[in-house]
Amino acid sequence: MKWDALEEEPCSLARTVAVIGDRWSLLILRECFLRIRRFDEFQASLGITRHLLADRLKKLVRFGVLRRVPYQESPKRYEYILTQKGLDLYPIIMSIVHWGNIHMVDSRGRPMLHEHKNCGKMFDPVMVCSECGEPLTAKAVHVHPGPGARQSSPVHAKAQERAKRGAEST
Amino acid sequence: MKWDALEEEPCSLARTVAVIGDRWSLLILRECFLRIRRFDEFQASLGITRHLLADRLKKLVRFGVLRRVPYQESPKRYEYILTQKGLDLYPIIMSIVHWGNIHMVDSRGRPMLHEHKNCGKMFDPVMVCSECGEPLTAKAVHVHPGPGARQSSPVHAKAQERAKRGAEST
DNA sequence: ATACTACGTTCTATTTTAGAACTGTCAATA
DNA sequence: TATTGACAGTTCTAAAATAGAACGTAGTAT
């Protein structure tokens, strides 16, 4: 499968993966949320090759996640700023960080703590239902095809059936 | 940078990216949450090459995200089931889907809708603070080094300073 | 025997990435 | 005036990852 094909898939996950689903894009976005904005800063803090950095920044700009903004004339220099679309990636970044905090820390503990300015406390992110406010788990969610769906795949139907008959899990 | 180096980084995001930060792993996990469990089912529904599928499943098992469970003897056959560690990825998957729903849908609308069994309504996921329950935004969060941190990078310090002096954004 | 199912492995060609060097513009310094 | 340095990329070659197809294996069914 080509990257471009991902964008066309009738699946919001696949389309998002087309934007941020590679090793470097997520790390670049982490730096953006840590207020890194300039080419050489990204390069220095990530150790990414300049070649790939240029490529990924272009891609993120093309998708409207970053904006390339001039910060000086002569010589003209640009920095890369998160757009609203980019800022909206924050829940993704935070849930990735949180999973790492729970499942990937070593004996020394978390590399980073997060303080919520509103309440002044160190927090963890919690994902809740927009309708009832309860925390969400995979098992409490049922999926339906939406208006943008393509006819449901036979393999999924078969798996659903088997899962219903079978005992436990996922 | 090598993939193995990512696991060692003092950053929960980088360590999580080492597990799920490639095109296929996230798509495989999507299928897991849609109750796909068997090799040929993954292959059929994703169009991934058998080579890479075998490789990624091994990796996800190695990281403890999936469990390889026999479902029949003679010939011995296995299926791949999400562990608790894997189920805990749900907020990541849901926030990725939600961003796609908001920013990547075409005119036909969402490919998929989610129903919360607890309240019976179609919902969107919302990320809130574990301490005060308010929705989280990037600007309302302040980061601190944690016990597992390495000394803060000069480039980050520089960027922070510049960001404080400067006017708006991120 | 032959075909079929399920789960991989192996092979070659293509694409992507790593790593280093190079380019162009301008400002500051010697 | 010549040199150095900062910044933002581009270009090059070698190494690694991926795509696509074929092959292997172990059992059941015809």
The structural domain count of chain A equals 1
Is B137 in a helix, a strand, or coil? coil
A38-85 pLDDT tens trace: 999 999 999 999 999 999 999 999 999 999 999 999 899 999 999 999
Asked if residue B152 is part of any domain, the answer here is no
Q: What is the CA radius of gyration of chain B?
A: 20
Q: How far apart are CA A150 and CA B1, in angstroms?
A: 39
Distance of CA A47 to the CA centre of its chain: 21
Asked if residue B22 keeps its beta carbon closer than 7 A to nucleic acid strand D, the reply is yes
Alpha-carbon gap, residue B90 to B102, rounded angstroms: 18
- Pairwise CB contact (< 8 Å): B45 & A155: yes
Cis peptide before A75 (omega within 30 of 0): yes
Query: What is residue B153's predicted lDDT score, i.e. its pLDDT?
Result: 87
Distance from CA of B73 to the nearest CA of A (A): 17
Q: What is the pLDDT, as a whole number, of residue B74?
A: 86
- Position A98 in a domain: no
| pLDDT of res. A41 | 98
* Type of residue numbered B112: M
How far apart CA B167 and CA A72 sit, in angstroms, is 15
Task: Identify the bridge partners of residue A129 per DSSP, sorted by sequence position.
Answer: B125
| pLDDT tens by residue, A112-146 | 999 999 999 999 999 999 999 999 999 999 999 99
Residue B96 lies in a domain: no
Q: Is residue B110 part of a domain?
A: no
The pLDDT mean for chain A works out to 94
Residue bearing the bigger pLDDT, B169 or A103? A103
CATH number at residue B48: 1.10.10.10
Residue A169 in this model has a pLDDT that exceeds 50: no
Cβ distance B95 to A145 less than 8 Å, yes or no, reads: no
Q: Is residue A124 part of a domain?
A: no
Please identify residues in chain A, positions 46-105, with a C-beta within 7 angstroms of any atom of strand C.
48-52, 55, 74-75
Q: Is the CB of B7 under 7 A from strand C?
A: no
In a domain, A141, yes or no: no
Positions 138-167 of A with beta carbon below 7 A from strand D are none
Q: Judge whether residue B169 has pLDDT over 50.
A: no
Range of the domain at A51: 3-90
Pick among B141, B158, B168 to test the A interface (most A CBs inside 10 A)? B141
For residue B150, which residues of chain A lie inside 8 Å, CB to CB? 111
The owner of tokens 């990257």 is A3
What's the average model confidence in pLDDT over A89-102? 98
Higher-confidence residue: A124 or A5?
A124
The per-residue pLDDT for range B102-159, each reduced to its tens digit, is 999 999 999 999 999 999 999 999 999 999 999 999 999 999 999 999 888 889 988 8
- B167: pLDDT strictly greater than 70: no
* Contact (CB<8Å) B136/A153: no
Chain D, protein-covered positions (CB within 7 A): 6-12, 17-22, 26-28
Q: Looking at residue B166, what is its pLDDT?
A: 64
Of B39, B36, B41, residue with least CA distance to B54: B39
Nearest to B145 among A17, A112, A119 (CB): A112
Three-state SS string over chain A comes to: CCHHHHHHCCCHHHHHHHHHCCHHHHHHHHHHHCCCCCHHHHHHHHCCCHHHHHHHHHHHHHCCCEEEEEEECCCCEEEEEECHHHHCCHHHHHHHHHHHHHHCCCCCCCCEEEEECCCCCECCEEEEECCCCCECCHHHEEEEECCCCCCCCHHHHHHHHHHHHCCCCC
Instruction: Return the pLDDT at A77.
Output: 96
Q: What are the pLDDT digits (tens) for B42-97?
A: 999 999 999 999 999 999 999 999 999 999 998 999 999 999 999 999 999 999 99
- Domain assignment present for residue A103? The answer is no
Q: What's the Å distance between residue A60 CA and nucleotide C19 C1'?
A: 23
**pLDDT of B168 strictly over 60:** no
- Give the chain B residue whose CA is nearest to the CA of A69: B169
A17 Cβ contacts chain D strand, under 7 Å: no
| Res A168 pLDDT > 70 | no
- The answer to whether position B157 is within a domain reads no
Task: Name the residue closest to the C1' of D18 by its CA.
Answer: B52
**Residues in a beta bridge with B66:** B82
More confident residue, B6 or A93: A93
Scan residues 49-88 of chain B and list those with Cβ within 7 Å of strand D. Answer: 49-52, 55, 74-75
